[in-house]
Amino acid sequence: MARTGLGILLLSLLGVACGKTSADAPADQAQGGDSNSGGQASAEGGKPGVGGRGSAGADGEALSYVDLTGAPIYTRAQRLTNNQWENAVTDVLHLQKRYELSKGFAPPVLGSTDFDNNEQVLYVDNRGFADFETGAEAAATLATESPEALAALYMGDDAAGFVRVFGRRAFRRPLSPAEETKYQGVFALGERLYGAGFANGAALVIRAMLQSPHFLYRTELGAAGAPLDPYELASKLSFWLLGTTPSDSLLDDAAAGKLSSEDQLVAAAREMLDDPRATLVMRDFHGQVLRIRDLQNVSKPPSEYDPAITPELTLAANAFLDSLFMNNLGLRELLTSKQAYVGQGLAPLYGVDAPKGALELRTVAPSRVGYFMQVPFLLLLGVGAESNPIMRGFELERSMLCPPLRSPPPGLQLPPLPSAVPEQTTRERVDALTGSCGSPCHRYINPLGFAFEHFDGLGRKREVDNGRVIDSTGSYPFAEGVKSFTDANELMPLLAGSAQVNTCYAKHVTGYALGRDLVESDRPLLESLGKVSASQSLKELVVALVRAPAFRTRKDGLP
């Protein structure tokens, strides 16, 4: 019998199914959904302050607030992302390197959720079923193709021991006696189909386990409000902070009851936060919040931009964000740091001497502070060599203020900026274009974007625009009140000290950690975490979330 196409046979033999479990299945059956989506508040209700729906400043202008109108499913079975699958396969098989077996897997459909690990975009349809089957087959071949690979996976030569040891590693918990019996049967089937030999039996067990829902999904199966068990906590913590399956030692801790208390779980989290893999996870987190991925696709007219600089944009942005995390810094430094990473291509845009080697950390203040005044952000959101206040303001508000969705009037489509007339600044062109459209959103995003008008579309500092002195002044109606600024240098500390901004950042961290949308019932948690963000580092914000019942217990869903 050919090895390809045995997925259905294996699943039938084991009495499980890993087909449609999310968008293709009823939420109350496949995903553990609940008709109660978490107490979403209406657009009119709410309290003053960070969550102040309908509140206004002294001049009557409606204040902004952190929007929490998501639609979580509260799934009991969260599918691994493609990257988590790749890392987990590498680790459970003790492979010597990542083989990028998931490179051809179907990506999540983005745009509907803040992060690609959100429960709403992770499901197994027909394409996913085929992806995981072929991936499991390829992984099993790598793990059993040589005596050395097998020895790295399991030192013995008995089916029962292999099933028990590898099964715990793959399913992230001990197998039940019934499961051990079933997979020993799979081992024997492998020897019958492909010939006697440990490698043949082990290969079929690997293929079966890597296609099982117990591998593909991280589960939280307790009753609503019940604490997660130690194995569920080990998986939740490891996949969040390290991007991979729990280690054998962490599973040993779970078995010994060493993850049962809050302090024990926090100790495990702190150890993970010092692991280099945590830096890569937080790079992914910031990359999605700040659109770092889009830097590789920057395209500008050759007369204005050297495309050889493009790879350096991503390297510099990641190096800056990585350094914040590794040096135990947080949102305040992200917004107000006086330093940036500069390479040979970026140096002219910063107006500094090029480093002799690769990237070098340079002081770029007083003209620039924080990530949003660094070249990667400014250049990404520029039109050729011209600034783009609308998109700069939009992206800053989206990523740092989490505002409610503001829809333009029906049928309105904003055209490109008209060409400048003599002595007309970009700000004047934007005001002329958006001032008559009647859309309230530009009252919020335009002033934020104008704050960066001292930088052109390539991120270069400038003092005049089209021969005119630049006006970068503005104000923003934060949840805590309207605040004015003269330019981005004054705006960044205002953002860093804003309760709304810190609550927004906490929303991002929590949504990424929990893999779901957030709603009004989450607001007390987020405001509490926002206070941690305002005074402490990202690592401490992570620890505070680990301590929260929202992380350690199962939220809503069906019992």
In the predicted model, what is the mean pLDDT of residues 161-171? Answer: 98
In the predicted model, what is the mean pLDDT of residues 442-447? Answer: 92
pLDDT tens digits, 238-270: 999 999 999 999 999 999 999 999 999 999 999
Answer whether 334's CB lies under 8 Å from 324's CB.
yes
Answer whether 224's CB lies under 8 Å from 555's CB.
yes
> How many CB atoms are located within 10 Å of the residue 193 CB?
15
- Report the SS3 class of residue 207: helix
Distances (CA, A) of 324 to 24, 172, 186, 480: 40, 32, 48, 27
Q: Which residues contact residue 429 at a Cβ distance below 8 angstroms, ignoring those fewer than 6 apart?
A: 417, 418, 420
User: If you write DSSP's letter for every residue of 237-258 in order, what string do you get?
Assistant: HHHHHTSSPPPHHHHHHHHTTT
> Which of 311, 346, 338, 308 minimizes the C-alpha distance to 458?
346
CA–CA distance, 42 with 467 (Å, rounded to integer): 48
Q: What is the pLDDT of residue 371?
A: 98
Distances (CA, A) of 188 to 154, 204, 260, 321, 421: 17, 9, 38, 50, 80
Q: Which residue has the higher pLDDT, 522 or 31?
A: 522
pLDDT tens digits, 139-157: 999 999 999 999 999 999 9
Q: Which residues contact residue 436 at a Cβ distance below 8 angstroms, ignoring those fewer than 6 apart?
A: none
Domain ranges for the chain? 7-30+78-219, 281-406+419-496
CA-angle at 398, arms to 395 and 404, nearest 5° = 140
CA–CA distance, 196 with 201 (Å, rounded to integer): 8
For residue 391 the two structure tokens come to 């998109």
Judged against a pLDDT cut of 50, whether residue 487 lies above it is answered with yes
For residue 258 the two structure tokens come to 């060493």
pTM metric for this prediction: 0.90
User: If you write DSSP's letter for every residue of 337-395 in order, what string do you get?
Assistant: -SEEEE-TTTHHHHTSPPPSSS-EEEE-TTT--SGGGSHHHHHHTEETTEE-HHHHHHH
CA–CA distance, 38 with 41 (Å, rounded to integer): 9
Judged against a pLDDT cut of 60, whether residue 12 lies above it is answered with no
Asked whether the CA dihedral 268, 274, 279, 285 is positive or negative, the reply is positive
pLDDT tens digits, 281-335: 999 999 999 999 999 999 999 999 999 999 999 999 999 999 999 999 999 999 9
Judged against a pLDDT cut of 80, whether residue 409 lies above it is answered with no
> How many CB atoms are located within 10 Å of the residue 9 CB?
14
Tokens 């099982």: give the residue.
212
The amino acid at residue 171 is F
Q: pLDDT > 70: what percent of the chain? A: 86
Q: Which residue has the higher pLDDT, 339 or 59?
A: 339
Confidence band, pLDDT 50/70/90 cuts, at residue 408: low
Q: How far is CA 470 from the centre of its chain?
A: 36
Q: Which residue has the higher pLDDT, 21 or 112?
A: 112
Half-sphere exposure for 188 (CA within 13 Å, toward CB): 8
Answer whether 4's CB lies under 8 Å from 137's CB.
yes
Q: What is the pLDDT of residue 309?
A: 96
Q: What is the pLDDT of residue 406?
A: 72
Distances (CA, A) of 484 to 473, 491, 495: 8, 8, 11
**In which element (H, E) is residue 288 found?**
helix 276-289
**Mean pLDDT, the chain, integer:** 89
Judged against a pLDDT cut of 70, whether residue 16 lies above it is answered with no
Q: Which residue has the higher pLDDT, 109 or 74?
A: 74
CA–CA distance, 94 with 144 (Å, rounded to integer): 11
pLDDT tens digits, 356-384: 989 999 999 999 999 999 999 999 999 99
Judged against a pLDDT cut of 90, whether residue 14 lies above it is answered with no
Q: What is the pLDDT of residue 73?
A: 93
pLDDT tens digits, 93-116: 999 999 999 999 999 887 789 999
Answer whether 183's CB lies under 8 Å from 208's CB.
yes
Judged against a pLDDT cut of 70, whether residue 4 lies above it is answered with no
Answer whether 344's CB lies under 8 Å from 355's CB.
yes
In the predicted model, what is the mean pLDDT of residues 204-229? Answer: 95
**In which element (H, E) is residue 153 found?**
helix 147-153
Asked whether the CA dihedral 432, 438, 439, 444 is positive or negative, the reply is positive
Q: Which residue has the higher pLDDT, 49 or 151?
A: 151
The amino acid at residue 495 is L
For residue 293 the two structure tokens come to 């991925």
Q: What is the pLDDT of residue 435?
A: 76
Q: What is the pLDDT of residue 557?
A: 53
Q: What is the pLDDT of residue 438?
A: 53
> Which of 333, 329, 324, 399 minimizes the C-alpha distance to 365?
333
- The number of helix segments (H) and strand segments (E) in the chain equals 25, 10
**In which element (H, E) is residue 82 found?**
helix 82-92
Answer whether 253's CB lies under 8 Å from 99's CB.
no
If you ran DSSP here, which 8-state letter would residue 225 be given?
A: T
Q: What is the pLDDT of residue 419?
A: 80
Q: What is the pLDDT of residue 35?
A: 33
> Which of 277, 284, 461 minimizes the C-alpha distance to 369?
461
Listed range (73-77, 452-456, 534-538) with the worst mean pLDDT: 73-77
Distances (CA, A) of 121 to 78, 183, 531: 10, 31, 30
Q: What is the pLDDT of residue 227?
A: 94
CA–CA distance, 114 with 87 (Å, rounded to integer): 22
If you ran DSSP here, which 8-state letter would residue 461 be given?
A: B
Q: Which residue has the higher pLDDT, 321 or 409?
A: 321
Answer whether 241's CB lies under 8 Å from 279's CB.
no
Judged against a pLDDT cut of 90, whether residue 511 lies above it is answered with yes
